[in-house]
Structure 1
Amino acid sequence: MDTSNEHEKTNQVLPKQNVYGPIETQSGPGLTRFCILCGIIAAIAPFQFGYKMAELNNPKESIINCSTASSTSDFNWSFPKCLPMSEDYFALATSIFALGGLLGSFFAGYLSDRFGRKKILLFNSLIFFVGATIQAFSLKSSVLIFGRFVSGISSGTAIVVTPIYLTEIAPIQSRGTLNLFNQMSIVIGVLMAQIIGYAFGTGNRWRMVFIISMLLSLVNFATSFFLVESPKHLYQKGKSDEAESILKRLRGTNDVKQELESWKINSENNIISPDSEERLGMDNGAHTASPDTVNYTPEKNINLFSIFGIPKYRQPLFLVFCLQLGQQFSGVNSVIFYSTSILSDIYSKETSSKLTLILGSVSVFSTIFAVIIVDKVERKKLLLSSIIGMFLSMLIFVIALFKEINVLVVVGLFMVLASFAPGYGTLPFLISTELFDTKAVGAGNSVSIATNWIGTFIIGVTFFAIQKAIGYYVFVVYMGFMAIFAAIYMIYLPETKNKSFQVVSKEFVF
């Protein structure tokens, strides 16, 4: 979820001038080895999120069905071979993860502001460990579900705090690059879970999927001690000397005065008057804004609750709700969560598991492609192109299912994931940061992420029930949602690429 670097863009009205003064410059040192190392370590947390999201996919039948064949490779331990449960109960085990994620995401921002990014990432690795341990040694299906909920809390925390940390340790010109660690680690985590699930998906070996997750969390915990605290967070807490020392390590130079000065200007001059904002937004470069020439006035912070009472944020809130809910109601998580179940209806368990691994690889390469094009194409055009591609791909998939053209079923699934990643997979998070001004972007993104988790839960818990009722027409329902939300985006979503909030808001209609 790469949203943090776009947060900084909301501070700017014009490319070469800022309504708050010269907050940060584009020049300066690039990424150092130490900064990259900190980014890699921090990205272990979203890697675990991706792993936890897909861990139940391949070993599903071995977990819920005790009649699956045993083998000489089974482990000699005293735990139950399986945890019998219905398809609906397994859907709850899958989707309860999203409720935990929702809870974690609500409190992660506040906790990281109070205790620091590093401390929360360190503590969160222990929550990952607790969740994985409960799952690995569960004796009942209800205990497994509770472990999934705990893992969801840690995952929700990870995808909120990690992008913030990556943004705050990176040089401004390298924020996008460092934030790619977050996106890539998630999809690689999904692929790793599918590979390990395939390797340990028979007999009583499925517990190894969770034991490996325990080991990952311990690696996360041990390596987190090598992280430095976010220097920007320390500076905001008044620990300027410590912030300067860490910033010198991250930049590989003692010359960090300009960057520190930019933080000082940013912290001292938070808000400008509406008249000044409008004047600077219309300025074509005749003068440069500075702290001496801009009229700053104090303003109350906007929180998760107060934002709903401010008229100018009505359309942005409506749009982030539609972007995130539309993404989930496209049915893509049905492919991620239940691809093995879908494919096992037409192929053997062995073949369907292998195809699931290939699907994971498609997600990884599609995300790499997204990285290349996401900043080269207009947001709205890329989003709508992605939805059209998904719609046509799912149409091919559904026709192939009913005509029993098995090869085309697989091709259709691959095309759904390939068309999802470059647009619908990344843009809802990115656009959400560009629909709010600086003082509201935090609260707006909380609404955005919460909506995404709620949508994930709804799809996860209803897929099997709807499929049982109407069969594979469930994907036709998802296609209908794609068409509805695409129409909403066409009518109400303004183009946001390289535009300030002042310019974007002029296109709002309510």
Structure 2
Amino acid sequence: MDSLDLKLPGYMVYCVIISCLGSFSNGWVIGSPNVPGDITHNCPNGAAKVASSAFPDCLPMNTGLWGFAVASFCVGGLVGSLFGGGIQTKFGRKKTIIFNNIGWIIGGLLIGVAVNPAMFIIGRVLCGLSCGLGSLSTPTYVGEISTVKARGTMGTCNQFAIVIGILLSSVIGLPLATVPLWRINYAIVAFPAVAQFFLMAGCVESPRYLISVNRLEEAKENLQRLRPGANIDKEFYGMIEGQLGTAAAKAAVGDVDLYDDKKDDMFMDMESNSAVVDEGMRAPMSMMDIFKDPLIRRIAITVICLHVIQQLIGMNAVMYYSTTIFNMTFDAKMSMYMAIVTTAVNFISTILSLILIDRMGRRPLLMIAEIGACIFSVLLIIGYVFNVGALLIVSVFGYVLSFAIGVGPIPWMMTSELTPVYASSAVGAIATAVNWAMNFLIGQCFPLIFAGIQGYSFAIFAAIALIAAVFTFFRVPETKGRRLEEIVRSFEK
């Protein structure tokens, strides 16, 4: 069997799952303050050492400082993603993922033993550094090792692991929302990080990365391990040709008959683009270089816009507002359970995305998600204006479902699908940094906007979702079932 016909070889799936342990840690950091947050900074005994002689019962913080402490991991995420491109280019995807766990381990343990707000904030920033670097390196690694036919499903695993982390942190946070057990809730992130630190050693380095640094023999061995029992000549030839040129591909693989009766269409444009693929080995681009190259600039703008849309469409704001919505209909305790139900809806919807992504394709699923986000944002406004509690709750669930099936996972996936290896680190670094910056912006600005115009603030998100759907229709290419090199060449037209 040709490797281009493979879908889910076992070892490849194993490598994807292990690499996504970092995404789980990312989700845990995001969700860990949700349930035990109040007992963390506002417990009855304050900084007194009643439950333990070694640690204060909680870390007293006012609302403003607590908001900054929780959001401070976004600052770490911004820094980690900005420097992540250079790190994964120099050290490779595998080593970056392995050593990225240090931030989660140290940060989680630091929060667990915090005796003042400063230690808590520093721990959140350290965790954020790993979240930022992980949000770049994990999708890149997954995209580069996945088969063509399962790249969508594998790519969605990144978001799926984040959602699982958020959900479990909320569920486990319920019994831990007491003094002094809240400390354990924040320190738990160190366990999956330690597990990934050791288990990732059993995974291979990305063959595409190895080709980019001219380690062709090792790249071929790793690709064969990822595609056991399959003929990898065509796939390997295409990888080399896309990065090093036709001459290098022929020297490494020999003459390969790319035009067979099964899938001529995947290679039909190679000869017409021989001038491009014969340019030879390309040096890794810097963040400044990508805006000087017309082809990469077009790709970079598309990728960055997808990440801006993911945050500005308002998911974090909806999750923030959900507490207020549930308090309108339920008591405080039931509202806490409903917040967990919202996270469960996010989890189930992400499973739906796993099923649909390689069947429907990225572009139609993304448009459905954006249109759904627009509709449910409008319904949120109607529910708010007419004080219809049931409509508000349905709108929150519908919005979360819309976001999770497309807007959540697809930008991370398409970052690696749209970008050639020599530019992937730089483009990914900028896109991820912009994502974290927008995340922080929404977290800080939305409460102010909501305080001013209340539920009408969701008109902003409805408008952004509509603009996003138009942008996707005209500017985002379909990547389902297409080789990465073929996708890149489509931007030349």
CA distance in 1, matches of 2:273, 2:57: 72
Give the aligned residue type for 1:40: I
CA distance in 2, matches of 1:145, 1:292: 52
Deviation at 1:505, TM superposition (A): 5.6
Deviation at 1:429, TM superposition (A): 3.9
Deviation at 1:46, TM superposition (A): 0.8
- State the match for 2:259 in structure 1: none
Counterpart pick for 1:366 among 333, 341, 349 = 349
Give 3-state SS (helix, strand or coil) of 1:199's partner. helix
List gaps (5 residues or longer) in structure 2.
249-263, 481-485
Deviation at 1:213, TM superposition (A): 1.7
Counterpart pick for 1:421 among 404, 411, 414 = 404
**How many pairs were matched up?**
468
Counterpart pick for 1:493 among 475, 478, 481 = 475
Deviations 1:453-506 (A, max 9, x none): 11101011223333344444433443344345556556x635545684555565
Counterpart pick for 2:19 among 42, 46, 49 = 42
- Please show how residues 465-476 of structure 1 align to structure 2 within 5 Å: 465-476=448-459
- Greater CA drift, 358-367 or 194-203: 194-203
- Please show how residues 5-16 of structure 1 align to structure 2 within 5 Å: none
CA distance in 1, matches of 2:273, 2:475: 36
Matched, 1:115 2:97: no
Give 3-state SS (helix, strand or coil) of 1:374's partner. helix
Deviation at 1:266, TM superposition (A): 4.2
Matched, 1:460 2:431: no
Give the aligned residue type for 1:207: R
Q: Is the 8 A contact 2:295 2:491 kept in 1?
A: no
- State the match for 1:65 in structure 2: 42
Matched, 1:83 2:66: no
- State the match for 1:131 in structure 2: 107
Deviations 1:21-51 (A, max 9, x none): xxx9654655443333222221111111111
Give the aligned residue type for 1:138: A
Q: Is the 8 A contact 1:64 1:84 kept in 2?
A: yes
CA distance in 2, matches of 1:424, 1:245: 35
Counting aligned pairs with the same residue, the percent is: 28
Give the TM-score taking structure 1 as reference length. 0.78
Give the aligned residue type for 2:22: A
Q: Is the 8 A contact 2:380 2:391 kept in 1?
A: yes
Counterpart pick for 2:156 among 180, 184, 189 = 180
Counterpart pick for 2:318 among 335, 338, 356 = 335
CA distance in 2, matches of 1:260, 1:488: 34
Q: Is the 8 A contact 2:143 2:417 kept in 1?
A: no
**Superposition RMSD in Å:** 3.7
CA distance in 1, matches of 2:117, 2:89: 36
C-alpha distance 51-411 of structure 1, shift in aligned 2 (>3 A): same
Matched, 1:447 2:430: yes
CA distance in 1, matches of 2:465, 2:221: 50
Counterpart pick for 2:116 among 137, 140, 149 = 140
Give 3-state SS (helix, strand or coil) of 2:407's partner. coil
C-alpha distance 234-379 of structure 1, shift in aligned 2 (>3 A): closer
More helix by share: 2
Q: Which runs of 4+ in 1 moved over 6 A?
A: 283-288
CA distance in 1, matches of 2:268, 2:383: 61
CA distance in 1, matches of 2:236, 2:471: 43
Matched, 1:348 2:325: no
CA distance in 2, matches of 1:286, 1:229: 26
- State the match for 2:165 in structure 1: 189
Deviation at 1:354, TM superposition (A): 1.0
- Please show how residues 472-483 of structure 1 align to structure 2 within 5 Å: 472-483=455-466
Deviation at 1:134, TM superposition (A): 1.6
Give the aligned residue type for 2:308: L
Give the aligned residue type for 1:183: Q
Q: Is the 8 A contact 1:112 1:161 kept in 2?
A: yes
CA distance in 1, matches of 2:78, 2:305: 17
CA distance in 2, matches of 1:200, 1:132: 15
- Please show how residues 196-207 of structure 1 align to structure 2 within 5 Å: 196-207=172-183
Q: Between the two structures, name the one with larger relative contact order (CA 8 Å, sep ≥ 6).
A: 1
List gaps (5 residues or longer) in structure 1.
1-23, 273-282
Deviations 1:256-287 (A, max 9, x none): 56655554444430799xxxxxxxxxx99997
Matched, 1:55 2:11: no
- Greater CA drift, 446-455 or 367-376: 367-376
Give the aligned residue type for 1:117: R
Deviation at 1:289, TM superposition (A): 4.1
